[in-house]
Amino acid sequence: MKASTYGAESIKVLEGLEGIRKRPSMYIGSTGKTGLHHLIYEVVDNSVDEALGGYCKKIKITLNRDGSVTIEDDGRGIPVDKHPVYKVPAVELALTKLHAGGKFDKKSYMISGGLHGVGISVVNALSKKMVVEIKRDGNIYSQEYSKGKTKTKLKVTGKTKDTGTIITFWPDAEIFSTVEFDYKILETRFREITFLNPGLKIILEDEANKKKIEFFASGGLIEFVKWINKSKEIVHKPIYFRRETNETILDVAIQYNKSYQDNIFGFVNTINTIEGGTHVSGFKTALTRVINDYARSKGQLKNGNLSGDDVREGLTSIISVKIPEPQFEGQTKTKLGNSEIKGFVDSAVTSALSEFFEENPSIANKIVTKVSEAAKARLAAKKAKELIRRKNAFSLGGLPGKLADCSNKKSENTELYIVEGLSAAGTAKDARNKEIQAILPLKGKILNVEKSNPVRALSSEEIANMITAIGTGVGEQFDLNKLRYGKIIIMTDADVDGEHIKTLLLTFFFRFMPELIKKGHIYVALPPLYRVRKKKDYYVYSDNELKKFTERLSTTNVTRFKGLGEMDSSQLWETTMNPKTRKIKKIYIEDAVEADRIFSMLMGDDVQGRKDFISENAHNAELDV
């Protein structure tokens, strides 16, 4: 075979925005549902930046009947004059060149979420069509683009006294696996934005489904924590404070509830940093120190210190920072990296919270009582964990006796199947690839951790077995480096009980090991619902797929699989466990605020909220007789 040559001609240069279309996930995270919605966020973030500067009061997002999206604001309007160097209108430069924008110096925007100058050009590159209209200088300007390239010259189409920008785009179906937007996802995001920007109105409209909602929150972060905690029993009224220095603004809201989970949400220039960062780290350090100092000064802390886990149990907090030069880790801005912000937040929260506690002793005492109870529970949980470790010491290698481990010890290549029922687990053990696939059976439904304190949860044999098998630990002892399997796959029956067990397991992972979800380690197996037999066997995964199948094959010899145990090992391997042919669903957190609210409402004590949710969504349910 002739060796291929590698010379100068092998080096390719992708012109314009071709690189974005070639590797879209580098810029928007994925080409699935998450990436699709990120297109809207990139455009809306630019409008929010106008609001941060004091130039914009209203943003309207319309999901149009033809599949396009229109984002309109009443800001200053993107500049239309010709750029002195590139000799094209500034708007055309912003939409067709990477790293072109008005946010690299501090003259146009002191504080901004969109700092890379790639956002709107990425949206343009990944849209089959984009139309921009600008109201500015008494005129209405219009220009059309397609897949990142200019289709028409910028022209004046009318006169106006208003200012603002209107962008309409059609996502490219060649890029995205779906081009249908989810109204509920957008509703959640825009509600957050108005909480973070008091006085800003956002209107979301879905023309096809005739839905429209307005968001406006004059109360800001105080309203935000109340919204998050509305399904929970609260301990005190919200604590709120603001600190400003050297162009940096910190807003913090704190409210404890009587649950056992903590929820700390960080935002930078209104961007939801779902992986946290230095602002969240600084807050956690200060919170632990202030509560310890206060409890000790009042004689309420005799021995030792309250841990970070103790002081965060039942906590809901929003940390919002606005800074001139945020350094995000990655284009999708999920984590803040500015090292100086940790010290600033730590100092500001220490000062403000200490002052609040001294001026409001009744609230401070309620918080100290709450976290002291958490500390007692932690000690009891520690004893429970030690008991679990002693029990597991009698198993091979300290692992649960029920675990059928795999032979490969490299976590990135291995999978742990958490299987409902001993019978199904037995079939799975026979079906699996023993080198890379481990099986952990579950006996019935696990404890609902949303309603249980940590001591009871960690004392549960089934939960203890999962924690031991996974290897990372929980809480402050959680260490992702100790993860024993690259994929943790929940495999339950395709019936109501199976769905309930799946939900209980997801609740456990969300509350005790959220990093496993955030880092993409949690999956759900998708066993087939039916087997269709026509000369050979076909496996079908949904009722819609079955309808198409039976019409095409003109057959009715159909077998409904109610449980995993109804399949033999070869069928289970072929349909559900073979990495080459199976279907599995990756679990991810799109919006941590909404995820917390839903888990609290569905799995907690909010009976009325649960009834309302069921009534609202009953029409989406399918009857399985």
**Which position among 133, 206, 420, 574 bears the catalytic label?**
420
**Which position among 262, 462, 493, 596 bears the catalytic label?**
493
Do 23 and 52 form a contact (C-beta atoms < 8 A)? no
Q: Which of 282, 251, 301 is nearest to 350 (CA)?
A: 282
d(CA 344, CA 252): 13
List the end-to-end C-alpha distance of the chain, in Å, as a whole number.
61
Tokens of 433: 């690839």
Q: Is 495 annotated as catalytic?
A: yes
Do 175 and 21 form a contact (C-beta atoms < 8 A)? yes
The torsion angles phi and psi of 267, rounded to 5 degrees, stand at -135, 140
**Which position among 293, 495, 545, 605 bears the catalytic label?**
495
Tokens of 308: 């970070």
d(CA 174, CA 203): 29
d(CA 357, CA 362): 8
d(CA 95, CA 122): 8
Q: What angle do CA 606, 607, 608 make, to 5 degrees?
A: 95
Cα 298 off chain centre by: 40
Tokens of 201: 């109105």
The shares of helix, strand and coil residues in the chain, as percent rounded to the nearest 5, are 40, 20, 40
CA dist list (Å): 321 to 3, 262, 283, 336, 571: 56, 20, 11, 10, 53
Which residues does 104 contact at the CB level (< 8 Å), separation at least 6? Answer: 115, 117
Helix (H) or strand (E) holding 517: helix 514-518
- For residue 497, the number of C-alpha atoms closer than 13 Å in the C-beta half-sphere is 11
d(CA 23, CA 116): 17
Tokens of 106: 């501090």
d(CA 108, CA 301): 51
Cα 607 off chain centre by: 25
Burial class (CB in 10 A: 0-12, 13-18, 19+), 426: middle
**Which position among 293, 461, 497, 515 bears the catalytic label?**
497
Long-range interactions of 439-447: CB distance < 8 A, separation 24+: 439/403, 439/404, 440/400, 440/402, 440/403, 440/404, 440/416, 440/465, 440/466, 440/469, 441/402, 442/418, 442/501, 445/497, 445/500, 445/501, 445/504, 446/501, 446/504, 446/505, 446/508, 447/504
d(CA 572, CA 582): 10
d(CA 492, CA 94): 50
SS3 374: helix
d(CA 283, CA 277): 10
Q: Is 420 annotated as catalytic?
A: yes
Would you name the residues annotated as active-site residues?
A: 420, 493, 495, 497
